[in-house]
Structure formats: C-alpha cells, structure tokens
A and B are shown apart, each in its own frame.
Chain A
Amino acid sequence: MDELLEQFLIESRELIELAAADLFALERAPDDRERIDSAFRAIHTLKGAVGLFGLVPMAIVLQAAEDVLGAWRDGNAAPDAAAIDRLMPAVNTLETWLEAFAAGNDLPGGAAEEAARLAAPLLALAGIAPVSASAPAPVAAASRGHRPDWLAPLLAAHATDLAKWHDAGAGLAGSLAALRYVPTRDCFFRGEDPLAILRAVPRLLAVDLALTPEPEGAEPDPFACRLVIRAISAAPEAEVASVFRLIADQVEIVAVAAPARLAASRTLRVDATRLDTLADIAGELIVTKNRLAHLAAEAPSSAPAIARPLGAIQAELDRLVGDMHRAIMRARMVPLSQTTRRMARLVRETAGQLGKEVAFDISGDDTEADRAIVEALFEPLLHLLRNAVDHGIEPPDARSAAGKPRAGSIRLEVRRDGDQIGLTVTDDGAGVSPVRLRESAQRRGILDPDTIDRLTDEEALQLVFMPGFSTATAITEVSGRGVGLDAVRSTIEALGGRVTVSSTEQFGSSWRMAVPEAVVLRAVMLVETGGQVFGVPLAAVAETVLVPADRIVRIGDGEAFVLRGGTVPLLRLGALLHLKLVKQAADRPDEAPERVKVLVVQLAGQLAEGQPVGVAVDRLGERMDIAIRPVGGLLAGMSGLLGAGVMGDGSVLLVLDMAGLIG
C-alpha cells in the first residue's frame, strides 16, 4: 500500500478513536476543558489529513464538527448530551467511511448527501446557518483542506526543525502557515527585495531557498530574480498574508494543522513487525549467549588457557545482550489506552442495543505493557464489559425498583503491580449467584455433586469460566450463551495471566485479571523426573524443600506432608505427567533416597487460590532465563504445558504450567 495512505489510515483511526473517547468523557464531565481541546485538535488534524486525499464528504462533516467543538472551546456554547448525541453518529459515520476508503479506496455511494445530512444539525449547534448541499460550505471545507504539491516535501524536509521548536515550547498547538513565494523576475527593478519581505514574516520556523535555472546558455543576470522561497511560520495564516499584501499574486499561503506526529516530537512510528523481528533476534541471541555460557563453563577443564578471558567475554556479552533485550522490550511497550479507549464506545453501543443505561469509567489506562499483551487484551476485555452490560447491569426499571440509580455503573481500572498488570472490571449490577452456578454445574454435569458441594461460594463463582457454562436465562444477541467466559480465561492464561471473579448478589461483580507486562523472558527452574527434564516457571515455585520419606503420610489415595505446621498435599510430577517412571530416585545410589525433593507450588488463581501444593521430582536443577514460545501442532491444546524454549545446548525444553497440571 502507498506509504502515505497507510500512514493516513493509521493516524486517522487513532484520531477518530481519540475524538470518540473525548466525547464520551465530555458526556460525563461537560466542563472538562482538556477534553474539549483534545477533541478539537483530533478533529482539526483529521480534517487536514482527509483534504490530502480529496475526501470531501469527510471534510464537510469534520468542518461542521470542528465548528461545534470550536464554539465549545471558545465558550460560545457548552457541551450537552443533545449535542454529543449529534456528534457521536457523525464520528461513527466518519469511522465507517474511513474503513470503506481503506477497503475500496473510495467512500460509499451517497456519502455526499449523508455528509450534508450530518453536518446541518451540527452547524446549527455551532450557530452557523445550515446550508444546502450545494452551498459554499463544502467548497470552503475542501479548499481549506487543499494542499499544493510543494507542501508535503516542505513539511517532510523540516519535520525535525518543527519538532525542535515544539520542544522549545514554541507551541505548535494550532495551525502553521506554509508559504511559497516566487518573486517576479523583474522584482528588483520595482524596488522589491524578497528576502527583506521574508524577514518581515513573523515566527519563522523553517526556510527553504532555491534558484530556478537560468535559461540554457544565457549569461547570468545579477538583476533578474531567480529565487524561490518556501517557508513555514508559526503565526496565523492571516498574519503571514498581511506581510505579502502588496505582492499577493506572487505568494501562495496555506494553513497547515500542526500534524500530530510533529507535535509528538522525537517519536518515530515503526512498523510493529520490525520490532517483532528485533525481539526475535534478541531472543535468538539469548539462546546463543546461553550456549556460550555452556561452553565457558566447560572451558576450565577442556581449554584452561582461554578459560579466564572467555569467562570475561561471556560475562560482558551476558550483560550487553540483557541490556539490548530490555531496550527492545521497552520499545515495544505501549499504553493500555490503545485497547481500552475503544471500549467506551462499545459499552455505549451495547447498552443502547439492550435499552440499558450505563455510566462507564476507565482509570489507569496510561499504564504500559508489551504491545502483544495490550492487543491480546482487547477480546477478553470486550467480552467482560459486554457481559457486564448484558448480564450484570439490570434494566433501568428493575434498578429503580431495587432502589438503585437507573444508570448502572461499570468501571475498568488498570494498575501496575510489579511486573504484572492488573485489570478490574466492576459493575453495580445484579451480581452472580453461587447457588444458581452450583445448580447449573450440576444440571450440565460439569462437576459431580460431591465436588460441587465441597466448593466454597468463592470457588463456585469461578465455575463461570468453565467451558459451555451459562446462567443467563435469556440468550441474548450481545453476549450469547455464555460461550466466551471460558475463552476469556484461556486467552488470559495463554498470556501467562489469570482471571477471577468475585460477586455479591444485588451489589454487582468484580472481574479481576492479572497479566504479565510482557510475554518474553521467563525465569524457569529445571526439574527432572522419569529421566526427562522439564522447566517450571520460577514464579510458580514458592520454595523447594527436602522432605524425609518417613514424613510423607498417605491420606486416602493421596499423600501429604507437614510444612511449618501446615499440611501440604503432595503430588508426584511423574504421575501428573503420566510418565513411566523408568528411573526412580532409588536407582541412584549417590542420592539419598530417604529424602524426597519437593517443589512447593503456590497455585495462583482458580479453585484453590493461595493453597500450597507439593510436587515431588527426582532432581532439582539450575534456574535459567528462557524465551518461552507457545507450542503449536498436536501439543497446542495440551493443558499443563505453558510452552517450549530452546536451551543452551540446543535441546528443547518443555515448560510446565503447574496450575494447569494440578488444577
């Protein structure tokens, strides 16, 4: 795709989302000056961009929207729900048109009439008399977006200058004036000095000088002006134009919206796949580095002469590769708002479809996480929010009857918790009934009655994440039959996170997700059982203990041991993996068979949160950092397997998901 077009689509989508998010915020807090300014800037910038592609209907709507926002900004009108209700469909239509343009390089048929229909009420809001579709307003909008050929190269050539000015606080908030001044050849004889005129232009940001060539073979004439001047000024277009008022025919002046990427100085848009490639290379480099570490460890015996320098180089390489890896990972961090800012609109739409009233709030979404995580959170978040609107929030009348405000409240909170990102979706709706969940689980035969009876209410609530589970009596178009909450769980767990729900009937529910900020290097501990080596994420291992064999007691089918006064169930890793235990620890005379090596695993999430479980292994190995990749093919659906990584000696390490294995 044409690079300019691609850039346009990316930025325009962002600007539309930004404007929509601002409008939602204004619906809640109409006095928020910053939001008004932000929405105005987004619409204004977008208007400049659509002009570049000749999208006149979009320009008409944007011009009308800008007039409304401008009136708010200047205090000539105040935002209210009615006005926002007129702006929102306009923004939605802009988005539809943009996608149509992306798909087919053109706007849908009838866009011009639609534009006039959308613009008229907006212009009325802005206090501008509505105009007929053929009236000058569209023309003005289009011509304001007009960009001569020389403009783009000029802006591109001076992007860094403009950024510097921005850094220096010159404030490129509004618009810039770009000019191209071609003095007449005989202007010197009329007493004009083009550079003296240029000197009078206020707030110059950039200047380009060029000479037109002398006609072939002609003597250079020092008194014939051949200079072409192009410049950018931070002053308003009108102020710049006044400098040239006597020679207006020699100059072309255009107002340019300070493009967003100029305002966001010193940042660079990089295709995400390039960053992914870098991250992959860094991952491979770590593997190679680990192989070198392997070699360096053997050097003292096999090659003593080079052992010391090799060790030093290896240590240095270790540090550098680590630094590089962290730097690349930082480059991949983006704020969660990239995902969450789309949510406000989706919640509003869902509520509209269901005839419910919902006040939606987002906080903390400036928290950053790896791009892959941020993108992968879209589906689960969307699902939880739709679920909250559909099954959580009651219809307005039911809420009134229950003594609640008619409008339900849904909050999405994001916060950082060490290297984890916590997301909580809270609603003040009907809540989930553990009693009904138990009934439903029993009816569907998901669990046997005994197990169901043993579940605490808190544990029973987690049943909603089981596949094929639904308690909603009415199946709705919006969140279907409850398929999806299990999809939420599997998506979150695939990211290395977990999701839980807590709920109080009549008071609402709270869905908590915790995901790592990046899915990249994981510290794993190597363990061996049945002659095979596996990796266990270090995060899952609370401690390792040696338990004397005689302290292990049998309880029914199971085993347990006492750790610091508490009874800890003991499982055998080999049995969990259904391995044929060909090499028991007893086969190794050098190890004390009377002591069993046990990983104490703190199971995060799910039914037995917080309860330690012991997992017996044959051998405990070293810990290492490893890039874990999801496994594909036949192994893809295997529970208990987190992924695979490549070890220093080139062999593949299967990394176990302890929660999945035990739970």
Chain B
Amino acid sequence: MTVAEQDGVIRLLAPCPVEDAESLLGLLQASAASVVDLTDCGHLHTAIVQLLLTYRPMVTGAPGDPFVLAWIMPFLKHRDAGAIDLRPGNGVVGPGLPPPAPGGTTGRGVF
C-alpha cells in the first residue's frame, strides 16, 4: 500500500501504480483530508496524477523524483486557473479549472 492517510494528510509513498488509484479516490472522496504529501513518492501513474488534477487537493512536499518534480508538480501546485495556460477551443479542460463535479462547488468529496 503506497497510499496512506494520517491526521488528514494523504501520503504517497514510493512509486504509485495504477492499482492505487482506487484507494486514493476513496480517500479523496471520503476523508476530510485536503492535503496530499508527495515528499516520498516515486513515479506517479497517470491514473494517480489524473485524480490529483480532478480533485485538486493541496499538494505539499518536494518529490524526490526529478521527472515528477519538474514536469508534474507544477500542474498539481497551482490551484488557480490563471497559473496554467488554457486556451478555449482545444477541447480539453486543464488542471486549473474546477473539476467536473456535479452538485459541488468546491469540487471535492461530494459524490
């Protein structure tokens, strides 16, 4: 198990495979935890990154993995839409926009 919650902080430990997506989804939906700590994470599977982009918890810690630090982290850190360049019309919803969360204004834990 490389996803663990303690005191409202979700920690991602070591490389997170696709199987962790379900437990992370559960934690993000169920817990009041709004913080995800990446200090000890390794490679993050696309499914994990996708969840973080969808639920946009506060992400802390500097990942030791240089790829995650350089290319993934910037998209997880910014919670404001202004930080990410999003152009209308290219058919995608960027990380900066509120997640597709019907019925919720904060977009987190309301499913």
Point out the residues of chain B lying under 8 angstroms from A199, CB to CB: 43, 67
Question: What is the bound-complex CA distance between A208 and B94, given in angstroms?
Answer: 9
Number of interface residues of B (CB under 8 A): 33
A136 at the interface (CB under 8 A from B): no
Judge whether B100 and A222 touch: CB under 8 Å: no
Judge whether B86 and A210 touch: CB under 8 Å: yes
Question: What is the bound-complex CA distance between A252 and B50, given in angstroms?
Answer: 21
Query: Could you say which of B45, B50, B87, B102 contacts A211, with CB atoms under 8 Å apart?
Result: B50
Query: Could you say which of B25, B46, B91 contacts A195, with CB atoms under 8 Å apart?
Result: B46
Closest to A189 in B: B18
Judge whether A223 and B93 touch: CB under 8 Å: no
Known: A211-B93, A214-B100. A153 touches B87 (CB 8 A): yes
CB distance from B102 to the nearest CB of A (A): 6
Most buried by A among B45, B46, B75: B46
Closest to B94 in A: A210
Question: What is the bound-complex CA distance between A153 and B86, given in angstroms?
Answer: 9
Residues from 140 to 189 in A contacting B, C-beta threshold 8 Å: 149-150, 153, 157, 183, 188
CB distance from B91 to the nearest CB of A (A): 7
Point out the residues of chain B lying under 8 angstroms from A198, CB to CB: 71
Judge whether B90 and A153 touch: CB under 8 Å: yes
A209 at the interface (CB under 8 A from B): yes
B95 at the interface (CB under 8 A from A): yes
Judge whether B95 and A193 touch: CB under 8 Å: no
Residues from 186 to 207 in A contacting B, C-beta threshold 8 Å: 188, 193-196, 198-199, 204, 207
Point out the residues of chain B lying under 8 angstroms from A620, CB to CB: none
Known: A195-B43, A211-B93. A222 touches B67 (CB 8 A): no
A277 at the interface (CB under 8 A from B): no
A226 at the interface (CB under 8 A from B): yes
Closest to A220 in B: B54
A228 at the interface (CB under 8 A from B): yes
Residues from 66 to 87 in B contacting A, C-beta threshold 8 Å: 67, 70-72, 75, 85-87
Judge whether B111 and A220 touch: CB under 8 Å: yes
Judge whether A193 and B46 touch: CB under 8 Å: yes
Query: Could you say which of B21, B44, B100, B102 contacts A223, with CB atoms under 8 Å apart?
Result: B21
A217 at the interface (CB under 8 A from B): yes
Judge whether B45 and A212 touch: CB under 8 Å: no
B58 at the interface (CB under 8 A from A): no
Closest to A212 in B: B92
Point out the residues of chain A lying under 8 angstroms from B13, CB to CB: none
Closest to B74 in A: A207
Point out the residues of chain A lying under 8 angstroms from B85, CB to CB: 153, 157, 208
B49 at the interface (CB under 8 A from A): yes
Most buried by A among B21, B54, B100: B100
CB distance from A306 to the nearest CB of B (A): 46
Closest to B49 in A: A195
Judge whether B71 and A196 touch: CB under 8 Å: no
Question: What is the bound-complex CA distance between A210 and B24, given in angstroms?
Answer: 20
A225 at the interface (CB under 8 A from B): yes
Known: A194-B46, A195-B43. A188 touches B86 (CB 8 A): no
Point out the residues of chain A lying under 8 angstroms from B18, CB to CB: 188, 193, 223
- Which residues in B have some Cβ–Cβ distance to A below 8 Å? 18, 21-22, 24-25, 43-47, 49-51, 53-54, 67, 70-72, 75, 85-87, 90-95, 99-100, 102, 111
Q: A207-B71, A225-B50 are in contact. List 6 more A-B contacts (CB 8 A).
A: A157-B85, A195-B46, A195-B72, A209-B94, A217-B102, A223-B47
A selection of 27 A-B contacts at a CB cut-off of 8 Å is A153-B87, A183-B46, A188-B46, A195-B49, A196-B46, A208-B85, A209-B53, A209-B72, A209-B75, A209-B94, A209-B95, A210-B95, A211-B92, A212-B92, A213-B93, A219-B111, A220-B25, A220-B111, A222-B24, A222-B47, A223-B18, A223-B21, A223-B22, A223-B47, A225-B46, A227-B50, A228-B92
User: Which 3 interchain pairs have the tightest Cβ spacing?
Assistant: A210-B92, A222-B21, A157-B85
